Copies of this chain bind each other. A is one copy, B any other.
Amino acid sequence: MTSPGRPPLGVGLIGYAFMGAAHSHAWRTAPRFFDLPLEPRLAVLAGRNRSAVTEAAGRLGWAATETDWRQAIERDDVDLVDVCTPGDTHAEIAIAALEAGKHVLCEKPLANSVAEAEAMAEAAAKAAARGVRSMVGFTYRRVPAIGLARRLVAEGRLGEIRHVRAQYLQDWIADPAAPMSWRLEKDKAGSGALGDIGAHIVDLTQHITGQALTGVSALLETFVTERPLPAETGKLGGVGGAETGQVTVDDAAVFLGRFTGGAVGVFEATRFALGRKNAIRIEINGSAGSLAFDFEDMNVLHFFDGSEPAEVGGFRRIVVTEPEHPYVGAWWPAGHGLGYEHGFTHQVVDLVTAIGTGEDPSPSFADGLQIQRVLDAVERSATADSVWTPIPR
């Protein structure tokens, strides 16, 4: 153990796919580089398939397994429940865990509907009154360049924010022959690109600017409505691809928005931007400065300082690997870049620090609910001729 004097924090992880692996790495790694008030222990991994969960627990470093998430929540050695399951199960698991007095980290989007998110936020508020903490996993906030962006805005170096433009571009289903998946079914995934990746740029732009969206005008599009079923799920065991399934979510979501401070926003989330694998691109223009970020070059933030004389003015390519930058001091010398998973480690750091110091971590379930309301307004605008749709507070 890294520090025997520190109280332990037993973690129960529900789910062990992509997000489960990322969270496991974070729980293992955070205490090795950061000074935490509590000592995370990888207590139990829960998943429905016994052999699969056992294999995963060995590989990912978990001490025990459960095949029923309810059992995992009940365990005495679990102080915190980390929810990495598909969105349609978030509400049930998270609420049960909070009611059982366990802190909760829940992957984004918080839920598949506003109603679910409301119930979760309510449960979180009740739990908070009892000292039980909760947080929703908008991990990209913890990329150092994003942290620096927020800091520069907060310091006033951008002045009054006028423009926000944000894109989350992927291409993994640009090919019409790409097979069906649960992520393309509305009852499981809630929405398509909108909730999966659009949620991130909603969160990031609100986080960086410190402002909330007040309304949207939106358009959703499904370019490919029918896709081959994967071979293994063919009902009749026939040749893969012979049968097809219906895509019931959006392939792309585009929308305009306004922020509380008067900025105008343009948003685009798509899985059809051929050649862009995971391009989260955010630009902010203010009256005193501007910022630009692209996750394809995640250790860099571009900053234009409007106070410079025109002769030497220009966007600076800040390599965000200096000890002065958020989170960076705990890692390597300047110029040695971080990767995707570091955001998850930083998330654990912030969460465990909040729990240890008795503060509510951020983003809260209430924050997650607000984002759910933005996504809902986008969907409602898109089905109402893109008409301007205010976002309820």
Contacts and interface: CB of A to CB of B under 8 A. Distances in A.
B315 A317 contact: yes
B162 A165 contact: no
Contacts of A283: 273
Given A162-B174, A277-B335, A314-B303, A2 B61 contact: yes
A325 interface: yes
Contacts of A313: 275, 316, 318, 322
B287 A274 contact: yes
A321 interface: yes
A201 interface: no
A230 B140 CA distance: 39
A240 interface: no
Nearest to A167: B165
Given A252-B162, A311-B322, A324-B311, A287 B174 contact: yes
A156 to B, nearest CB: 13
A361 interface: no
Interface string A161-194: 0110101011110111000000000000000000
Contact of A287 (B32, B60, B176, B297): B176
Contacts of A266: 254, 266, 268
Interface stretch (A72-80, A84-92, A97-105, A215-223): A215-223
Interface residues of A, number: 103
Interface stretch (A22-30, A120-128, A363-371): A22-30
Contact of A275 (B25, B176, B255, B285): B285
A217 B256 contact: yes
A297 to B, nearest CB: 6
A225 interface: no
A18 B252 contact: no
A223 B162 contact: yes
A336 B340 contact: yes
A338 B340 contact: yes
A23 B176 CA distance: 44
A304 B285 contact: no
A289 interface: yes
A52 interface: no
B290 A285 contact: no
Contacts of A385: 217, 387-388
A383 to B, nearest CB: 11
Contacts of A324: 309-311
B219 A264 contact: yes
A391 interface: no
Contacts of A206: none
A290 B274 contact: yes
B278 A336 contact: yes
A292 to B, nearest CB: 9
Q: Most B CB atoms within 10 A — which of A25, A276, A325, A332?
A: A276
Contacts of A199: none
Contacts of A289: 274-275
Contact of A314 (B169, B316, B335): B316
A32 B32 CA distance: 15
5 contacts: A174-B287, A278-B335, A312-B316, A337-B340, A386-B387
